[in-house]
Amino acid sequence: SPYGCREWTQGGSGADVGQITDEGAVLMGYRGDSQRYFDYHHTAQDNIESVHPRELELGSASMAALMYYLDQQL
């Protein structure tokens, strides 16, 4: 794949945002490496300060690449 995306899946937007599809919203998400996700999820350390700067940079770059890809395709 040209952008390093290994998987495209349909559906499964998540319980917290799924309802807005009824309003015609297009939903998509980034599924990054989740090895350490539950180390912090719903704990006192579940805040932006706990995010490693490099992981934030890589995730942000991935989302920017996705937006660029969609812009070029639509």
First-residue to last-residue Cα distance in the chain: 17
Mean pLDDT over residues 53-74, rounded?
87
pTM of the model as a whole: 0.59
Residues recorded for the chain: 74
pLDDT for 11-62, tens place per residue? 666 677 777 877 777 777 777 777 877 788 889 988 989 888 998 898 899 8
- Domain positions in the chain are 18-73
What is the Cα–Cα distance from 19 to 60, expressed in whole angstroms? 25
What is the Cα–Cα distance from 33 to 28, expressed in whole angstroms? 16
What is the Cα–Cα distance from 63 to 67, expressed in whole angstroms? 6
- Among candidates 36, 35, 29, which has minimal Cα distance to 62? 29
pLDDT at 53: 92
Token pair of 36, please? Answer: 């350490």
pLDDT, greater one: 13 or 67: 67
